[in-house]
Amino acid sequence: MKIGLFATFMSPIADRTMIRDLAQRCEDIGVESIWMGEHVVLFDEMEFPYPGSADGKIPVPEGGGMLDTVATFGYMAGITERLRFGTGITLISQRNPVYTAKEFATLDWLTGGRIDFGIGVGWCKEEVVASGYSWKDRGKRSDEFLELVKLLWTEPTASYSGDHFQLAPCHMDPKPVQNPHIPIIVGGHSPAGLRRAARYGDGWYGFQMDAAMTKPIIESLHGLLDNEGRDPKDFEIVITPSRSDPETLAEFEAIGVDRLILHLGSQRPQKVDQRLSEVAQLINRLKA
């Protein structure tokens, strides 16, 4: 089982020096990957609350915000050699598929194949609308997004005709380094999200999970993959756990989780030092 870190890089704390030092230290201690979430704009009032906090708001420093995933991964990739980078998650319901395919193919090309494309539909209605898309049809639009991106990544000449996207025959190069394309790790705990993972994904990403919650979802995914004629052995289970003590890691390993993406937590220097020490110990225990 591989160990990565989930980092919500936020200004002003996450500056270039902090991110450079973290990426290099993670590679030194054997962290397999760094994952980032995505929100391009934030709102004081939202129809649906943020599910990850008690007050329903994304916790950000005063005057700060979340860094862009693509730009930040490009910076970290340039100062590392082995570390992988994953999005947890890219909000495809509010993105242009052609530009997104180009951005991530370029990242994969320049990093030598070190990118994982974690995706989801998202929960923030206001952000989807602010990005120029509608909320009601986000699920079907996201499915078409994935179909279109895969074509751009794999076909010499790609074309597409759907209800939401139209693409005349065209060429996108460079293609991703990874074969057949960048791994697509689908997030979402709903039945629709699990079906999307089984149909379009190379894996499933669960967030804030424990082993008891994860086990029945893995069983459901195996059934859905079988319905799609796919082998669960070729499908990756990626989890950000709600806890990260040695006993919890052992429970996840026992039920067949492939990668655990642990929370980094606070980005203040003394907290980062403490957390990386804890993560290094966990990695060493798994190797023992």
Sequential DSSP letters for 207-247: EEE-HHHHHHHHHHHHHHHHHTT--GGG-EEEEEES--SHH
Closest CA to 254 of 200, 218, 281, 202: 218
Confidence label for 56 from pLDDT (cuts 50, 70 and 90): confident
Peptide bond into 34 cis (omega under 30): no
Q: What is the Cα–Cα distance from 261 to 280, expressed in whole angstroms? A: 13
Closest CA to 10 of 57, 47, 59: 59
Residue 214: its pLDDT value, please?
Answer: 98
Q: Residue 206 CB: number of other CB atoms within 10 A? A: 21
**What is the per-residue pLDDT across 84-125, written as a single tens digit (0 to 9) for each?**
999 999 999 999 999 999 999 999 999 999 999 999 999 999
Which whole number is the average pLDDT over 140-144?
Answer: 98
Confidence label for 59 from pLDDT (cuts 50, 70 and 90): confident
**Residue 152: alpha-carbon gap to chain centroid:** 20
The H-or-E segment that residue 116 falls in is strand 115-120
Confidence label for 53 from pLDDT (cuts 50, 70 and 90): confident
**Residue 61 predicted with pLDDT over 90:** no
**What is the per-residue pLDDT across 115-129, written as a single tens digit (0 to 9) for each?**
999 999 999 999 999
**What is the per-residue pLDDT across 144-202, written as a single tens digit (0 to 9) for each?**
999 999 999 999 999 999 999 999 999 999 999 999 999 999 999 999 999 999 999 99
Q: Residue 200 CB: number of other CB atoms within 10 A? A: 18
Contact at 8 Å (CB) between 205 and 186?
A: yes
